[in-house]
Chains A and B, each alone.
Chain A
Amino acid sequence: MSILKNLGAGTRNGLVPMLSKEMRSRTRGWRSPVLLTVYLGLMSGGTVAFLWLNLDKNNYIYPNVGLSFYGILIFGLVLLLSFIAPAVAAGAISGERERRTYDLLLVTRASLTGIVLGKWLASVAYLLFLVLAALPVMAVVFLFGGIPPADMFMGVLVCMLTGLGYGALGLCLSAVIKRSQAATIVSLVLVFLLIFGTLVVAGITAGGSNYAEPQYSGEPNFELPGIPWYVFMSPLSALADAMPGAGDISPGRGIPLISSVMNELMQQFQPRLMREYAMKMGYSYSSAYPVSAAGGEKNKPKGLAAWPYWARFALNQVILTLLSLVIAIAAITPRKPWHAWRARRRTAGARAGGS
């Protein structure tokens, strides 16, 4: 009981002061307003450019302009957050080392878990602040209509999940690499690979696997092949669920690139014969959601394959977050437990030898 109490107190002693200090620091100085200005400038600039290109032509508004606008906006927001999150977190722990404040923290009653959680939550809070700051820009979508609030909520959720996971990744690299600049560069490269590299690798793999496309034998006893799990490390895959009409043949329509990339991937991974059969059986081939239970229960996607894209992305982000935080805590532990154990054993051995 006292161990749990100590653990809780240590975590609180790390989390509360660290969170409040980080949030105070982030709102002071010139960096924060400059970053916010650039961020909102990009969002607003994009919005103005889009409206100028789409509305000023013949004073005619296309019916799907709201959808296209929302797609571009959410795509831009996710990309921005994907790169801001690790960049913000990558200096969190290495900065303590570089500033030489690291030892001063370690000798306090704050636990390492509390310190890491405080740092991570501070960067997450900052990202939430950025998402909230962008809401007025997103509200322009409602001028045109066509986007249900649930889909917009899903878009914001994907943004936040992106921030949580990639922020934790940046924090982890900050603890492991020890230098802010190197940690920032590595985290940005990794995030780039996670966003785009996963899709490219999946596309290449699928291209290769087409040669071994199984032939339809006439019996409906095949398993629907799934999209590889690593595709859902990319927030772009989850964005397909953040758009209206995700259940039809074109997931993520309205979002630049996503629609074509996801469709291409699914066509590659789910060969034509299978797709046709699946359509007959009442499945939407473009989505993991079964749209009808009619025909062949055993052909329904099972397990993770039955999860919607955003849920699979959320699962990956939660795993990435937990793994990153655990590695970060392990990396900043100055006294590895096995070192203390080894020292005690050696000392006991030396004493026994001496007596």
Chain B
Amino acid sequence: MIITRGLIKKYGRVMALQGLDLEVPEGSVYGFIGQNGAGKTTTLRILAGLLIPEEGRAEVAGRDVLRDPRGIREVVGYMPDFFGVYDDLRVGEYLLFYAAAYGIRGEVARKLRDDLLELVELGHKRDAFVDTLSRGMQQRLCLARSLIHDPQVLLLDEPASGLDPLARVEMREILRELCRMGKTIIISSHILSELADLCTHVGMIREGRLLRQGPLSDMLAGDRVRKFILRCNGPVEAAVAIIEGWPGAGILSKAVNQVEFRLSGDPGDIAALLREIVGSEAQVVHFAQTEQSLEDTFIQLAREVNGA
């Protein structure tokens, strides 16, 4: 559904994108992960037709962003990270304004307005002025705006930023509903825990380069590096000393009687390390592999890149 090849974008001397290759399958919810300044917003703005790359190719639903900007507007719904609203318009008028800007008028537009307000649970706010809405409500209204022309692809730049926990849950539920409706969605975020619940696919970007992309399950299970937690009845210093000297292991965090560490290798290596620790002075009371999170994977990949 979305393909980019060798995208390069510069802002003066700063390289925002350095040959980005993305592949987003149709109907997927693609989590676009990266730190601030990694190039997420630039990528989304190129896909929305708002920016032109210095080099490279990008296609959305078979339409080239360089050759067919009009076609891109037909298939893409875009929600920027920071956006404003016309504070002197009512919620219903706001949607009708954008409907008219997409060439949708009359009864069709009014029906669409009511349906979309129901979808984002703002039906009861139809006659309220937009500036009286909370931040979460404005985010949902902006999402409704991006859906007004029934696009195949949704580009959501940090849709949950600045929202309280309840508003985030509401936003997540709406996105799930859109996913069920068959939309292809790209969500950029640096709050990785949110994406793990929602995404089917993930792409990790750093300094304008794609580190890794693929189905979420592959990203989490396919890692060679695992994370463990070990608790002792007393100080963990003896165990820490063994872990630090073990090839492929590294301490992640340490408390008085608990240590969290990562270890790369097969189950035989894990058993050997555990045997070594149990044989030492450390009085092991708990040893378990913890679940690898998206965040761990991203940090690990970032470290690998730094190391390289």
Contact = CB atoms under 8 A, between A and B. Distances in A.
Interface in B220-269: none
Contact of B49 (A14, A335, A336, A347): A335
A6 interface: yes
Interface residues of B, number: 38
A212 interface: no
Given A16-B100, A17-B97, A100-B82, A107 B50 contact: yes
A109 B149 contact: yes
Contact of A101 (B48, B49, B85, B103): B85
A29 B88 contact: yes
Contact of A108 (B53, B57, B93, B101): B101
Interface string A90-106: 00000000011101111
Contacts, number: 103
Interface in A1-53: 6, 9, 12-14, 16-18, 20-21, 24-25, 28-29
A164 interface: no
A10 to B, nearest CB: 8
Nearest to B100: A17
Decide if the interface of chain A is mainly helix, strand, loop or mixed: helix
A250 to B, nearest CB: 49
A343 B66 contact: yes
Contacts of A101: 83-86
B75 to A, nearest CB: 11
A104 B97 CA distance: 11
Nearest to A21: B97
B54 interface: yes
Contact of A99 (B56, B67, B74, B86): B86
B93 A24 contact: yes
A340 B52 contact: yes
Contact of B102 (A108, A334, A347): A108
Given A24-B93, A103-B78, A107-B48, A343 B145 contact: no
A99 B57 contact: no
A110 interface: yes
Contact of A25 (B69, B76, B89): B89
A147 B151 CA distance: 61
Contacts of A347: 6, 55-57, 66
A17 B105 CA distance: 10
Contact of A21 (B57, B69, B83, B86): B86
Interface in A308-355: 334-336, 339-340, 342-344, 346-347, 350
Given A21-B86, A107-B49, 6 more contacts: A18-B101, A99-B86, A103-B83, A109-B103, A335-B69, A343-B53
18 contacts: A17-B101, A18-B101, A20-B97, A24-B88, A24-B93, A103-B83, A104-B78, A104-B80, A104-B83, A104-B145, A107-B78, A335-B49, A336-B52, A339-B52, A340-B66, A343-B52, A343-B55, A350-B55
